[in-house]
Structure 1
């Protein structure tokens, strides 16, 4: 095996060692992400978790008494009385919610968790229709049933008006078919349940990161405003209109029961997964996900840098020791560890700038001695600066990551082809790598006397 192939095998082995180091750094990032998830769970346990608001739904319990006549085999008739406890459920004809989402943050050690307070105003109308009944019916006390995921998030006392009469919200409600509400509004002041019923509800609700609402009405409208600049709209329905700007967002959902299966899902037994309209307060540049993505580009750092060194060594005939390759690779790997550690303290962009600047300065200083030229060291430093800048562009531009990455790889390949366009690979393979240094000529042997 000639010297060039031997050197290439050694460099490949060193690259594998650096990739192992990158894998270990990736494990550190995963661990930090788990610690952050634990912090979120801790905040949820002491504050309030993600909230899902369902309702209100009008429930009218009643007892139905029917007489059943049965004839035995001997022709004897026997009459029995059967009582059934049932409930009539009515969904809003119109359901309108408007609210402001006030974000803030809670800390758990180094970790920040986004929480919110919803200042919501709900109003709607019911068309009250009696169900088909048999026998005699005794109606119980009607109530509006609601559900929130975590009742600890209810701030103050909600204000409820039903048909112009103020009512009180209480905890707990019996199951209605398959759905289990945990809040109820007894309708003490409603004298008649015939025809029409309207309600108004002021509700302040705190939660962590995500707010969802079920479109239980025949016609549903949800309008939210917030100063949060990077919302994530999810659930089964996206907003019909949304405006996301530097000063916050405004979104409007309009969902019909014709497009939603929420009413049938609530009446099913057991309850099926419910269609929701959701928004989450996400971080625009999540440090852990971006750091994890950055490590996936680590192999690109190693291949480009080691390849550049090898080509430089080949063209300039300047030998570089494998230990120097190894130290260079470790310098590249330590960047990702610095990145995730800095990003826990400062914004991701600032952390990326600090980590990349530290590594570029260190490697440029070291390469000036390895390559025996300050100019050459600065040249490789400029290459590393361009590479770090390109990777940052890929990280913050998910929509254009593929096209930007493809163009970057094309440019790198073009640069390699241009730099090696005059290399005689057959000659290099047969002669191996030579040292381009002025050597003192060997003195000829003395002539025999």
Structure 2
């Protein structure tokens, strides 16, 4: 029994006096604290997913993003195929012509889009998204379709069954839709589209089409002009496909944080002003790799869209997640500071005290996430950072019994959190600044640790 107590006393003395033992202890506690860091990162991802779910629910109830494809002139025509038929009675074999109806799709010669968009913020709980009401005027003209590429006789073209179709990603938000062809009104009706044909991430397009166009208007003694009035509620963004041989578009809004995107960007330099924006586009058929006529279905041209994004830039969760990725660095460097102070000053620091300091450092991230949900990231970072630095500084004063070491610890933590905040804000230079910062930290540690007698452990 006495030998056992002596062995325990020797082990305890080795733990307290051996530099190697303290290093192993600090390393072990650092690895243990990775467990709460993993749970915190999962919490951030869960809250971010919840935000996305709530925003999607708001958008679905109000109206999803708006993508306009059209108008398109749809003209049916006949083709004939030979089919071999065997008479069951006489067993004679002969051929007959089978008639088949196909559809050709023609884009307008000119397309002019004028849209006024008035966004507003919608909130549910702590989450906010941008929705809008848009008023569109779409004008332009069609010229007589050319079937020469597929050598169809004019008598096989079913002009009297031609229609104008428009495809949109959002028919739920349509409040008004009027179409005029050469001053004749046509009603647009919705045609069922099977969503099963679309991938999960793909934006499904719903078809609106007119009844058959009057044959007199399709004689094309003059261009067939159209005038479409749309009032649509939507969210996130509004996009158009430049189907005109010459497409001109103008989108105005009082939204001041617009993001223009797509294959084509506005050409006017003064598009953003103090009152919002007034963006203009001009796209020629030479600028896009598709023709004006399509004989084998409507092509998928969503990759050639242009438009405006009205989403509210919410990146608090992304910044919090990036900050949490540096948690191991913060804990490791803080423990290293306490280890150097303990080694150089011969002040005893218990493993439990290391653990309390590590848990305080992990609390920074839960404070950051919870506060940033109700405020901006900078305020949340300042509040969480000041709280944790103050807590650890006061706690270290009770451990180290002096003022100079707690002051140095508070100053070091302030510099460390400031360094990480700068890295989070940077994008293009994050790796460069981070590498330089770590190099300087390593140099300081090497300089300070040169006075330690490593042979005494």
What range is the shorter-chain TM-score in? 0.7 to 0.9
What SS is found at the alignment partner of 1:413?
helix
Residue 295 of structure 1 corresponds to 324
Residue 30 of structure 1 corresponds to 45
Q: Deviations over 1:371-391 (max 9, x none)?
A: 222343232212222222222
Using the TM superposition, give the Cα deviation of residue 100 of structure 1 relative to its aligned residue in structure 2, in angstroms. 3.5
* Kept after mapping to 2: 8 A contact 1:65/1:136: no
Residue 114 of structure 1 corresponds to 130
Match of residue 340, structure 1, among 369, 374, 382: 369
* Kept after mapping to 1: 8 A contact 2:71/2:165: yes
Query: Do residues 123 (structure 1) and 139 (structure 2) align?
Result: yes
* Kept after mapping to 2: 8 A contact 1:66/1:134: no
Residue 64 of structure 2 corresponds to 49
How does the TM-score come out when normalised to structure 1? 0.81
Distance 1:88 1:348, change over 3 A: same
Structure 2: 5+ residue stretches without partners: 1-13, 199-203
How does the TM-score come out when normalised to structure 2? 0.80
Q: Partners of 1:81 and 1:396 in 2: how far apart? A: 70
Distance 1:109 1:369, change over 3 A: same
Query: Do residues 59 (structure 1) and 87 (structure 2) align?
Result: no
What SS is found at the alignment partner of 2:172?
helix
Query: Do residues 326 (structure 1) and 355 (structure 2) align?
Result: yes
Q: Partners of 1:355 and 1:71 in 2: how far apart? A: 83
Residue 7 of structure 1 corresponds to 22
Q: Partners of 1:267 and 1:296 in 2: how far apart? A: 54
* Kept after mapping to 1: 8 A contact 2:108/2:143: yes
Q: Partners of 2:377 and 2:80 in 1: how far apart? A: 70
What SS is found at the alignment partner of 2:347?
coil
Residue 182 of structure 2 corresponds to 163
* Kept after mapping to 2: 8 A contact 1:115/1:209: yes
Residue 133 of structure 1 corresponds to 152
Residue 361 of structure 1 corresponds to 390
Distance 1:408 1:200, change over 3 A: farther
Distance 1:81 1:109, change over 3 A: same
**Greater helix content:** 2
Deviates more, 1:200-209 or 1:356-365: 200-209
Residue 40 of structure 1 corresponds to 55
Q: Partners of 2:165 and 2:332 in 1: how far apart? A: 62
Distance 1:8 1:47, change over 3 A: same
Query: Do residues 88 (structure 1) and 104 (structure 2) align?
Result: yes
Q: Partners of 1:380 and 1:369 in 2: how far apart? A: 13
Distance 1:273 1:96, change over 3 A: closer
**How many residues are aligned here?**
424
* Kept after mapping to 2: 8 A contact 1:265/1:272: no
Distance 1:302 1:79, change over 3 A: closer
Distance 1:318 1:126, change over 3 A: same
Using the TM superposition, give the Cα deviation of residue 324 of structure 1 relative to its aligned residue in structure 2, in angstroms. 1.4
Distance 1:247 1:28, change over 3 A: farther
Distance 1:180 1:285, change over 3 A: closer
Q: Partners of 1:225 and 1:263 in 2: how far apart? A: 29
